[in-house]
């Protein structure tokens, strides 16, 4: 990973996972892929509205993650949004991992987005079982991501996490930030025994986890979401955890409530660990020096 930018001052609050969609449907036509909620049909989910909500909630920066549900793998609006406010936003693009040559698609995306591209989303949360984690395509994407200095952001269900771990182990120098904690089973609450496929990944130093509103809401059903954050911090270390709102994909929660939930879930961490979880981990992954 590239060294941290010495001009960055902490603590900052950084949202590691947001989506945006444009109200200008002629310039940026929707191409719904069928995954996730239909949040993108609203007219107030663009980068400008997000920026205003962040300012009101004391969130300083955010990682704009390609909205596969809204646009598939056409990253045009995400690129446009980050280019217009590159001090506030960082870009995680996406390529079709089920295609014949996802590494070639990543190379093309990197040429198009240039220095704006800080991560690549490897999306495998479809109805079918993804084969790319085990057939060589993941290794090609990981290798190129390493050359480009990108963080890989896998989106996978729990049954695929062992195969993900094997890929990560083969590419130990490529940072990885697992979306939504791998959607693991949190039923029963602490010590979250059913989430073993996630906790097993802590043995891999390259692995980080994104703890989203979706995950914290599930933990809240079982008790206090701080129990999950504490367990993750004990296993991974807070410097390998990043809070992300998933705004506005996660339905039913306005942005201020998402920010408040993230802060409440981190309340038992030490001040230094809380700063890692709410900002520094994301800064190290997506705002490194160029």
Query: Mean pLDDT score of the chain, rounded to an integer?
Result: 94
Of 253 and 70, the one with more pLDDT: 70
Among 113, 150, 134, which Cα is nearest to 142's? 150
Q: Would 2 be classed as within a structural domain?
A: no
**Phi-psi label, residue 246: left if phi above 0, alpha if psi -120 to 50, beta otherwise:** left
Query: What pLDDT is recorded for position 1?
Result: 44
Q: What is the pLDDT of residue 9?
A: 52
What CATH number does the domain containing 38 carry? 3.20.20.140
Q: Averaged over 22-51, what is the pLDDT?
A: 92
Predicted local distance difference test score (pLDDT) of residue 264? 97
Q: Is residue 4 part of a domain?
A: no
pLDDT band with cut points at 50, 70 and 90 for residue 5? low
Is 53 contained in some domain? Answer: yes
Q: Can you give the pTM of this predicted structure?
A: 0.94
How far apart CA 14 and CA 276 sit, in angstroms, is 10
Q: What is the pLDDT of residues 179-202, one digit of tens each?
A: 999 999 999 999 999 999 999 999
Q: Does residue 204 lie in a domain region?
A: yes
pLDDT more than 70, % of the chain: 96
User: How many domains does one find in the chain?
Assistant: 1
277 assigned to some structural domain: yes
Residue 173 is part of which domain span? 14-284
pLDDT, tens only, 110-154: 999 999 999 999 999 887 899 999 999 999 999 999 999 999 999
Residue keyed to tokens 């879930």? 265
Q: What is the CA radius of gyration of the chain?
A: 17
Q: Output the pLDDT for position 250.
A: 87
Query: Is 3 a domain residue?
Result: no
When pLDDT is averaged across residues 3-18 and rounded to a whole number, the result is 73
CA 150 to the chain's CA centroid: 13
Other CB atoms within a 10 A radius of the CB of residue 194 amount to: 14
Q: Does residue 5 sit within a domain?
A: no
| Cα distance between residue 26 and residue 202, in whole Å | 44
User: Token pair of 160, please?
Assistant: 């695929």
Q: Is residue 280 part of a domain?
A: yes
CA torsion through residues 239, 245, 246, 251, sign: positive
Question: By the 8 A CB rule, do 263 and 33 touch?
Answer: no
| Average pLDDT estimate for 4-32 | 85
């Amino acid at each position: 990973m590239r060294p941290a930018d010495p001009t960055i001052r902490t603590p900052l609050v950084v949202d590691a996972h947001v989506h945006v969609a444009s109200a200008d449907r002629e310039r940026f036509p929707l191409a719904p892929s069928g995954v996730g909620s239909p949040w993108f049909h609203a007219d107030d989910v663009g980068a400008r509205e997000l920026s205003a909500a962040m300012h009101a909630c004391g969130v300083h920066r955010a990682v704009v993650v390609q909205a596969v549900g809204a646009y598939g793998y056409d990253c045009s609006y995400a690129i446009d949004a980050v280019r217009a406010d590159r001090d506030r936003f960082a870009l995680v693009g996406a390529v079709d991992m089920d295609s014949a040559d996802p590494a070639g698609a990543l190379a093309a995306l990197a040429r198009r987005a240039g220095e704006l591209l800080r991560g690549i989303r490897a999306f495998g949360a479809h109805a079918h079982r993804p084969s790319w984690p085990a057939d060589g395509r993941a290794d090609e994407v990981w290798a190129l991501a390493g050359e480009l200095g990108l963080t890989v952001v896998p989106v996978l269900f729990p049954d695929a996490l062992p195969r993900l771990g094997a890929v990560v182990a083969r590419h130990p120098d490529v940072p990885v930030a697992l979306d939504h904690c791998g959607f693991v089973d949190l039923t029963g609450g602490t010590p979250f025994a059913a989430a073993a496929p996630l906790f097993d990944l802590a043995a891999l130093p390259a692995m980080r986890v994104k703890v989203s509103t979706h995950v914290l809401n599930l933990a809240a059903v079982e008790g206090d979401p701080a129990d999950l954050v504490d367990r993750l911090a004990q296993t991974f270390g807070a410097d390998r955890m990043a809070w992300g709102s998933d705004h506005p994909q996660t339905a039913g929660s306005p942005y201020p409530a998402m920010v408040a939930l993230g802060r409440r879930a981190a309340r038992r961490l030490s001040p230094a660990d809380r700063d890692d979880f709410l900002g520094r981990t994301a800064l190290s992954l997506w705002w490194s020096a160029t």
